[in-house]
Every structure is written in C-alpha cells, then in structure tokens.
Amino acid sequence: MKTIHFASSNRGKIEEVTKHLKSFGIAVHGNRIEMPEISSDDLESIAKEKAKAASNIIGKPVIVEDTGLYFGACRDFPGTHPKFVFKGIGYEGIFRLLEGKSRKACFRTVVAYCEPGKEPKTFEGISRGEITEGVSGKPDPALPYDAVFMPESDNRTYSQMTKEEKAKTSHRAKALEAFARWFNSV
C-alpha cells in the first residue's frame, strides 16, 4: 500500500481524506499543522503555496487541499474565504445574505501534491448544488457548510448523508479521486 502525508489543521478533513484514499489503496499519514495561507481569490494558487510550505515543514511528499464555496447570487462570494465568513456571520448571516435570492452554490476543491523543493501538481473537484433555507442534519464544527449544502444529485445536505454517500458527490472526493488515479499510476 502506498502512503502519502496529508497536512491540514482541520481534523474533519483529515478523517475524510484518510477514509477516501484508503479505498484507492493509499494510506494517509495525517499531519495537523498550521500552514501559512496566502490571501488570494485563486484557489489553485492558495493550494500550491500551502503544499510547498507543508512539504518543506514535513520534509516529505505531501498533499494539501483548499476548498472554496461560491454563491451564484453573490458574485461567487465567499469564494476562497468560507471559513472566515462562517466564523463572522454563521448560519443566520448566510441565510439572511441569500434571502430572496438564488440559492445556487458550488464547492470547488483543489488538492495539491508537492515534493520538497519541487513545483506542486494540482487536482480539482467541483460539487454543484444549493444552500438550504435552514440547518439540516447534525452540524460538524469542522465542516459547518455540510449542514446547509445540498448537492444537485440528492435532496439531502452532506451532513444528512453517511460519509460513504457524501463521497459519491463531494468536491473533495472528486479531487482526491483524480489525485489517487495519478498517484497510483506513477
């Protein structure tokens, strides 16, 4: 079984990545580290810079991921800053922001792989859907948007699904699958 390091300060992401990559025969060594994050509206640039920093800190090949959330009615806000926005306005603020507007939204995840001293390679996954009008399922503080995001392919939010069901449509799963196919081929 191949092994890869995954760097994140988010325990929920580490659990999700570990479980998903295991199904591709890849063992994950989770590294709960804080990485510097550039301020940018470009998700790929953020992921690449985080991957470079993480590979230098760990000293081994590593993957990182960065996820953006884009509300169609708000010119793709909050974009690359969903965590910051949620901490600031929470569910109530999100619902108020979208009141009377289209609730269409999409998650976009970029997984970046990097070996120390080399340029990162990226893999993308997108999940389209909508923001619900209320919190559904049990909110996870590590992944708060899962309780309000309903993918197009289902009538439940991610937090109402099992982890296996979520993995069938999730943006993170799609990006990880692209990485796993590449990683297992090299």
List domains and CATH numbers for the chain: 2-185 (3.90.950.10)
The type of residue at 181 is: R
Please give the pLDDT value at position 110. 98
SS3 category, 77: strand
Q: Which residues are catalytic?
A: 66
Q: Please say if the pLDDT value at position 134 is more than 90.
A: yes
At CA 114, angle to CA 112 and CA 115, rounded to 5? 170
Please give the pLDDT value at position 163. 83
Is the alpha carbon torsion for 63, 78, 163, 11 positive or negative? positive
Does the pTM of the predicted model rise above 0.85? yes
Contact 28, 18 (CB under 8 A): yes
Please give the pLDDT value at position 157. 96
Most confident stretch, 12-16, 37-41, 43-47: 43-47
Where helices occur in the chain by DSSP H, the ranges are 11-22, 43-58, 82-98, 163-169, 171-185
Contact 31, 56 (CB under 8 A): no
Percent above pLDDT 90 for the chain: 81
Q: Please say if the pLDDT value at position 114 is more than 90.
A: yes
Q: Please say if the pLDDT value at position 35 is more than 90.
A: no
Residue 80: pLDDT band with limits 50, 70, 90: very high
Contact 125, 175 (CB under 8 A): yes
